[in-house]
């Protein structure tokens, strides 16, 4: 393990209302530097109290000279901390340092040609003199602040980048964090490694010991429970806490009957064998099917599944509390005080602007816990992104089949059946889904796509011909998508021969299905899931 720690000297990403603040933080971590998003409303003294290694000022939708626009406190530029401004952040720097920002009438949106006037500078070292950058601005810096050297121009921005190595102040008018800026990551890494002088040696894997120690310190001798879904987040969180406190942890796995083929067994066998966790399995399949009987509305199905999950989990938690309270003076004579949640950093940012003190979204993981449970939360992954959680999982020995599991909705197959959920329809969908997953895995595509929902159109029938006879079966929809964070997505270009094999196998092996169709809609306008 290196000397880098999770929260020591972070790179602060100051969010001025940008749609890409999280993405900037991710790009910083891809450069092996720890990052943290903070709102622009946080006082400069509070930001500097975090002892940041560097500060990045994000873009934003405002004009710097508008009344009520977010303001940059000049104290951030005078503290000796390296600062890098992007788009609105760039203009805020220019204004705070005495430069001129104005509406020149030369707006630039989308891909733009940039002329780099110094390819030996800190930001542009090793890059070509001409490159494509992603712009989104109506205002421009027309006069650079005194002491800052202009190092790039565009047709709409006479000052498209500036640098001051002595004060370690840098900025670009464009968005280097998006893939459309062809050398954007290199510009960002040049700032971090050359301008700010960071070592670039932080990774999620090298802080596992620290995360374990933090969990152990928080929990102490108390007992703790975790609602285990079998997904990546809850599995890694459980494995981490189990390493921290051992048999003080009890995991609760609610089998609601809406899982895909083999998933319950994977949790009960593979996960327990790899981690040694104490697992309680609650078989609630009949309860959930009974509650969903006759219900076709997708929102109503979600509410029912969430409500029933809460009730089942609540009862399981109370059983554990009863079993481990006041039963003598042994090691089990401790109350259950804590609940483990697989909260990730995007949940923290989206629920409170990245201040780290906001309440996590109530629907996260267990669907919103009842107030009378009175558990304290343990969120060991709350500063990590999904890809970093996978790294931690591998370090902890979580089975790869779980670590690399594609995202799966909490309501499970209940929202991948368009229509009423019945035992027969679940069996049909499980069989078709298992074939699709098997063929995608066999083709080596598991890590090339974000996920591939398989949807049963239960209330739709189509005419087909099978065995020289007319059939009237269900259609199955394949929805393979590519994405970085599920906020936007595009349909994945799965090779035709793989799609053909999936279709042939499903229509041959699942007798109730006589048609397989491919969803080629991006998000937006479509969502990843159908319901």
Nearest to 336 by CA among 230, 431, 223: 223
Per annotation, catalytic residue among 87, 226, 251, 452: 87
Query: What is the rounded CA–CA span in Å between residue 263 and residue 245?
Result: 26
For residue 201, cis peptide bond before it (omega within 30 degrees of 0): no
Instruction: Characterise 262 by phi-psi region: left (phi > 0), alpha (psi -120 to 50), beta (else).
Output: left
CA neighbor of 139 nearest in space, from 168, 103, 177, 181: 103
β-pair type (376-378, 336-340) = parallel
For residues 315 and 321, what is the distance between their CA atoms, to the nearest angstrom?
10
CA atoms of 250 and 242, how far apart (whole Å)? 9
Active-site residue, 175 included = yes
State the DSSP H helix or E strand holding residue 101, giving kind and residue range, or none if neither.
strand 100-102
Both tokens of 497, joined, read 């021969």
Catalytic residue of the set 108, 163, 177, 531: 177
The 10 Å CB-count burial string (b at 16+, else e) for 425-450 is bbebbbbbbbbbbebbeebebbeebb
Catalytic residue among 36, 108, 175, 263: 175
Catalytic residue status for 177:
yes
Residue 216 contacts by C-beta under 8 Å, 6 or more apart in sequence? Answer: 244, 245
Active-site annotation, residues: 87, 175, 177
């Amino acid at each position: 393990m290196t000397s880098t720690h999770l929260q020591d000297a972070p790179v602060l990403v100051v969010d001025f209302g940008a749609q890409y603040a999280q993405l900037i933080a991710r790009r910083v971590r891809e450069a092996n530097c720890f990052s943290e998003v903070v709102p622009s409303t946080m006082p400069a003294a509070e930001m500097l109290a975090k002892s940041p290694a560097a500060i990045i000022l994000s873009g934003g939708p405002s004009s710097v000279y508008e009344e009520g626009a977010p303001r940059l406190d000049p104290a951030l530029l005078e503290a000796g901390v390296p600062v890098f401004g992007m788009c609105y952040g760039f203009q805020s720097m220019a204004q705070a340092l005495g430069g001129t920002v104005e509406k020149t009438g030369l707006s630039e949106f989308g891909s733009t040609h940039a002329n780099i006037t110094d390819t030996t500078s800190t930001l542009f070292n090793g890059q070509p003199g001409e490159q494509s950058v992603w712009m989104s601005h109506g205002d421009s810096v027309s006069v650079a602040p005194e002491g800052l050297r202009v190092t790039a121009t565009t047709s709409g921005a006479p000052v498209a980048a500036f640098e001051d190595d002595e004060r370690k102040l840098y900025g670009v008018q464009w968005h280097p964090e998006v893939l459309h800026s062809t050398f954007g990551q290199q510009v960002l890494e040049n700032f971090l490694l050359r301008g700010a002088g960071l070592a670039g040696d932080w990774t999620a894997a090298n802080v596992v010991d620290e995360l374990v120690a933090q969990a152990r310190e928080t929990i102490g001798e108390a007992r703790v429970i975790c609602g285990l879904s079998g997904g990546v987040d809850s599995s890694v969180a459980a494995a981490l806490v189990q390493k921290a406190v051992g048999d003080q942890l009890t995991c609760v796995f609610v089998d609601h009957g809406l899982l895909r083929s083999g998933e319950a067994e994977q949790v009960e066998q593979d996960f327990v064998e790899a981690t040694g966790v104490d697992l309680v399995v609650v078989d609630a399949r009949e309860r959930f099917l009974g509650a969903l009987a006759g219900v076709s509305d997708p929102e109503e199905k979600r509410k029912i599944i969430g409500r029933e999950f809460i009730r089942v989990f609540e009862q399981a938690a109370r059983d554990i509390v009863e079993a481990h309270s006041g039963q003598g003076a042994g090691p089990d004579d401790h109350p259950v005080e804590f609940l483990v949640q697989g909260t990730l950093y995007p949940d923290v940012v989206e629920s409170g602007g990245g201040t780290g003190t906001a309440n996590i979204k109530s629907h996260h993981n267990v669907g919103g816990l009842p107030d009378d449970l009175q558990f304290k939360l343990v969120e060991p992954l709350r500063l990590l992104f999904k890809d970093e959680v996978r790294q931690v999982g591998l370090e902890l020995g979580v089975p790869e089949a779980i670590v690399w599991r594609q995202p799966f909705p909490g309501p499970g197959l209940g929202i991948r059946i368009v229509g009423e959920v019945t035992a027969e329809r679940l069996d049909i969908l499980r069989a078709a889904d298992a074939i699709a997953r098997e063929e995608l895995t066999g083709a080596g595509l598991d890590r090339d796509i974000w996920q591939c929902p398989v949807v049963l159109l239960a209330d739709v029938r189509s005419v087909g011909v099978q065995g020289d006879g007319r059939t009237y079966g269900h259609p199955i929809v394949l929805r393979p998508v590519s994405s970085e964070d599920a906020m936007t997505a595009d349909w994945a270009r799965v090779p035709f021969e793989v799609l053909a094999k999936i279709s042939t196998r499903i229509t041959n092996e699942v007798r109730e299905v006589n048609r397989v169709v491919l969803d080629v809609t991006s998000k937006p306008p479509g969502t990843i899931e159908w319901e």
